[in-house]
Amino acid sequence: MSKLPASSLVNDYTKYPVKKLLKGKIGIYVLYENDKIYYVGKGIIYNELRNYYLHGKHKNNWDSFSFAELKQSRYKEELEDLLISIIHPPGNVKEEKKVKRDRKVEDQIKKIIELVKPDIPQFHEQQYSITKRIKGKHFTHKKAENLILQILSQNKKPLTRKNIVNRVYNRIRGQLKPVDKKHLKNGRPRWENIVRWEVTGMNMRKLITSTRHNDWVLSKKGKKRAKQG
């Protein structure tokens, strides 16, 4: 689940829907402070979030959260340790552990990491990497971000995700390498997967925003970034 405001746990209009959404779910949750990851935790999600919002040492240190329910909750401790070892959240400073590689745990965390990946520049840079590194020239997330900024800044009307994908393709089709064209398990070529994830990531980074029709436009922050090139 993408980020929700912490106040939704106690707001009279949202607390009951949020409780219904979270009740009984076990998994991993991430607390944010000003869009930066502050704390990663595990357990019964609703109980943990309510406790941290109203009581304890983390009270007033976070303003939004995201979560991932685990179907195989026996992996929650390993997943929590692995996320902490990748992100190094300030709220988990005393909880970091050396994590041993485990293929089953890595397969589980691939889904969870997408919730927070846009906020973790070190995700691909540090020693521990969940995704396979690609050698040589290839289409990157940074390139996708720059192209999306250009396309939206040059277009007067909002664009759907599909429109964005098509316009990016028109600009890069002559530059794509074999590795970019390789189809992934979801059936899409790697370059398209990158573009689609960047739309989600740029929304989380507040570079773009969605209209009521779920079309995308640049935010104030995005317009400033686009002008900077």
Going from the C-alpha of 80 to that of each of 70, 145, 194, the distances in angstroms are: 12, 29, 26
The pLDDT-based confidence of 219 (bands split at 50, 70, 90) is very high
Residue 102: pLDDT above 70? no
Half-sphere exposure of 184 (CA within 13 A, CB side): 11
Nearest to 83 by CA among 125, 47, 50, 114: 114
With a cut of 90, say whether residue 146 has pLDDT above it: yes
Query: Regarding predicted confidence, which is higher, 221 or 35?
Result: 221
Q: Tell me what the mean pLDDT of segment 52-66 comes to.
A: 84
- pTM confidence score: 0.49
Arithmetic mean of pLDDT, 117-126: 44
Q: What is the model's pLDDT at position 15?
A: 84
Query: Using 50, 70 and 90 to split pLDDT, how confident is the model at 119?
Result: very low
The identity of residue 222, as a single letter, is G
* Cα distance between residue 54 and residue 224, in whole Å: 37
pLDDT at 200 over 80: no
Please calculate the CA angle 104-105-106 and round it to the nearest 5 degrees: 90
Least confident of 7-21, 63-77, 168-182: 63-77
Average pLDDT, the chain: 80
User: Does 131 score more than 50 pLDDT?
Assistant: no
Flag whether pLDDT at 130 surpasses 50.
no
Report, as an integer, the average pLDDT of 38-66.
Answer: 86
pLDDT for the residue numbered 68: 85
Instruction: Compute the average pLDDT of residues 131-136.
Output: 63
Average pLDDT over residues 1-17: 82
Per-residue pLDDT, 59: 83
